[in-house]
Structure 1
Amino acid sequence: MVERVSDEIELNEIFRALAHPIRRAIIDQLAGDQVPVSGVADPHDVSLTAVSKHVRKLEDAGLVAIETDSQVCRCHLDATPLSVAFSWLLRTVSSGRIASTHWVSISKTTNHDLRSHRLEESMTDSAENDQRSFTVNRVIEAPRERVFDAFLSPEDLAAWISPPGFEAEVEEVEPEEGGTFRINNQGVTEQTEPMSHTFNGTFDELRKPEKIVFTDESWVEQMGEAARYTLAVTFDDVPNGTEVTMLCEEAPQGGGVDQATARWDAALENLADQVEA
């Protein structure tokens, strides 16, 4: 319980620090290299005193470290708290509670090197001992071919793939190995304001009606390669229908295995409602 409270306090401090546009701009400045405090102030139409206060807020949240070199105070970025925030976003997305677009947009204030290198490294370090695999299983009272096809049919996907509270607009489905899919989820839940989220990726293996393997690339653009993961779906005949098993051997780092399990378990329940009707 103490650890949970500590995590929530840390998240509060990170989000509070990121709430101001000047502080997000400072993070962008520091993504490439160390910058003197006086240099941090240059691009902003505020006083050095005001910028120093913003830097101090970032330092309190652990996002910025200040070092003195030859009597010059220099700032540099620490991406570890960003990985904490992104881990929370991944857990929220996995459970269907999509984070608001305001917080997603924060990821775009940093450059590609920060997202694909520093963030990926810090996420690896903080999550190397985390459980990284999960399995979701459900028996669906429908023929195996029907259940298999529902993973590739735009009409069926629109009915079952979205998290609770969202509606799916299937923009693209290429039902072949190497083909891509792109589904825009739109809607609102009790936890979020109106927004949209794109679920997209690539089909790695299609073996009708036995197996589908796909890679989820929905968050790679915002969070780098650490957000990419692969799901293997198998379809087995059982006496009362089809047993569907979804296996992920390496979930996104820090992504929240329990939340991902709940998200796909809910999806399979929707799938059953669709194909058993």
Structure 2
Amino acid sequence: MFVSFLNLVLCGTFLLPLTGQAQNDVTFQVNMSVKMLEGVFVPENGDRLVLHGDYNGWSGTNDQLEDSEADSIYNITVNLDAVGDQQMAFKYAIFRQSGFPIYENFIANRILTMNGSPQTRPVVFFDDDQVISSPAETGKIKFFVDMQVMRELGLFQADSDIPHVLAPFNGWGYVADNAELQQNAFDADLFAINATVMASPDAPVLHRFAMATPGVTGQPRYEFPLTTGGIRREVAFAATANQNAQIVYFNDVPPQGIVPASQT
């Protein structure tokens, strides 16, 4: 059957016909007992568990899961329009009464395969974490990044560009007081931020650096660290007020890694 281009709608990464779609009532379930015992998820303080995925643009707080049986298992039933056997990526997120959202950072996207019929997803633990860690504590980590190589390559200008650290503690976003690094008074290439972090002691704090130029589109410019294979960095959380992370070069490219133009 011919379906005109105007009758197609882009949903996530898929083109779906507006006609002939099956109704998929899907029930999602998450066991939040571990995160509740760790103090990461405190519903009595107003924390909410939300479903994010391709179908809602990975944003918003409308699709909240509820603990209908008071057993720490949160659920929601969502009606999804899709062609049979289409896949949808999704994850769960904790929206706290105060502070930044907490995402499932340690797992790949969860995948749902539509089948044109109602279905119930198996109960999973948030972030697939079934081990109760020490209760979350608040501390400071000072992050450092050396921008010398980026400056010498002409990719970074200290008078207009701003280095950021993106991490769960700032919602992976550009929040001035907990993301923007400040220039060192004695070393113009060194930037740092003393960030507030809440996590269990010894827990890995995922992060990466990025460059942004205020008012310029096409942002941000993320790093792909060589030492991590291009994925996010991590540092173990000491849960103290004066932890210093290692000084690193943006993208882990040291000055000696630059090939002079005369040798290219």
What TM-score bracket applies, with the shorter chain setting the length? under 0.3
Q: Taking structure 2 as the reference length, what is the TM-score of the superposition?
A: 0.25
Higher relative contact order, structure no. (Cα contacts within 8 Å, ≥ 6 residues apart): 1
Could you state the TM-score of these two structures normalised by the residue count of structure 1?
0.24
Higher helix share: 1
Quick check: which one's strand share is greater?
2
